[in-house]
Structure formats: C-alpha cells, structure tokens
Amino acid sequence: MKNLAILASGSGSNAEVIIRYFRNHETIRIVLVISNKVEAGVLEKAERLGIPSMVIPKKCWQEETDILKTFNNKQIDGFILAGFLLQVPPFLIERYSKRIINIHPALLPKFGGKGMYGKQVHQAVKMAGESNTGITIHEVNEVYDDGEIIFQASCSILPTDDVETIALKVQELEHIHYPKVIEGHFKSI
Ligand code: GRF
C-alpha cells in the first residue's frame, strides 16, 4: 500500500476527485490533505470526505527536521500537488525523488513558471491566440513547472471561448485524467 498526501492551497476540486477515486483502492491510499492556508476550501472537502488534514503555514515549510519528521511519522510515500501555490522545499524534493507530482492547467513548457496559476494561465493562452490548450502532469523539481513531464492532454479553443470557458474545459480534463495518471505513476515507481 502506498500512502499519499495531497497538497493544495485552494478550493480543492481535484483533491475531491482524487480522494473519491482512491477510496477502497488496492494499492493507493490518500491519507492526508495539507494546505498552507487555513481558509482553503480543500480543508472542508477533506473533512466532509473523512480524510485527515493539517495546515502548514508558509514559514514552517523551511523547518526541515520538523517537516520530514511529520511525514515520516505519517508514513507518507509521496505527494500530489493539486493547486498548491508554495514552492516545494528542495529537501523534500530530494527525500521524495520522483514521488511528488503536480498538475498544471496548460501545455507546458508554454504558459508555466512563477505567477502562472489559475486564471492568469488561461488569460495568457487566450491572449496568445492559441487554438488549443490542456493539462500537464509532471514531476516536481526545484523550478516551478519544470519537472519531467509524465502526461499531457489537450482540448481545442474556439474563437468564441472566453477565459471561463477555457478554464472549464481544462478542469474537465484534469478531473478525467489526474487520478488515473497518479495511479499509473505510483504503480511504476
Ligand atoms: C488546477 O487548475 C490545477 O491545474 C492547478 O491548480 C488548480 C487547482 O484547482 N495546479 P482545484 O483547487 O483543484 O479546483
């Protein structure tokens, strides 16, 4: 059994889909939801879905010994980022090599990097006149949105699509693919 934790800073729609997908799963268990924000919607979702959660504020992420001890005690084998806006500290990336993955709401390497999250991404895609967009699921390294790509899926953008419409199309792809890609990735390592 692999124990995974979800890291999220926002509403947690992906977290919810992932938690539901892995209920009663044979090899993967979502054991913890972690947020850096007390007000993050994902915490309510975790409670509703019966998954333990904790808040680790931004300043505490540099406390290497405490952080590693916490995750060791909880026997965490890997992390799923689902809208987590803090940079993952290098010591965690080193300790959990290949076992921290993220989803980005565009087709990397375009439209990624610091500050590229949420609506900004879709706005940039629209402004660039792209005819398609999509999702990228990748390993996490020290640079935002730069780790090895595991999976991409795309959808088309119509000239009449606004940022909201693009966001909905991308979110649909996220919910369809992220759980299955997590399953495949953690089976293979
Ligand atoms: C998603 O668009 C994901 O690609 C990005 O953050 C967003 C999280 O959305 N990394 P939600 O909180 O899961 O709805």
User: Residues 1-43: pLDDT tens digits?
Assistant: 999 999 999 999 999 999 999 999 999 999 999 999 999 999 9
- Note the pTM of the prediction, 2 decimals: 0.97
CB 151 within 8 A of CB 183: no
Question: What mean pLDDT comes out for the span 120-148?
Answer: 97
Q: Please work out whether the CB of residue 3 comes within 6 Å of at least one atom of ligand 1.
A: no
Superfamily in which the 1-96 domain is placed by CATH: Formyl transferase, N-terminal domain (3.40.50.170)
Q: By alpha-carbon position, which residue is closest to atom 7 of ligand 1?
A: 83
Residue 13 CB coordination number (10 Å) = 17
Active site residue 104: yes
Q: How far is CA 47 from CA 44, 51, 54, in A?
A: 5, 6, 11
Of the pLDDT bands very low, low, confident and very high (cuts 50, 70, 90), residue 177 is very high
CATH pick for 103-189 out of 3.40.50.170, 2.60.40.3500, 3.40.50.150, 3.40.50.720: 3.40.50.170
Q: Indicate the average pLDDT of the chain.
A: 97
Cα 94 to averaged position of ligand 1 atoms, centre (Å): 24
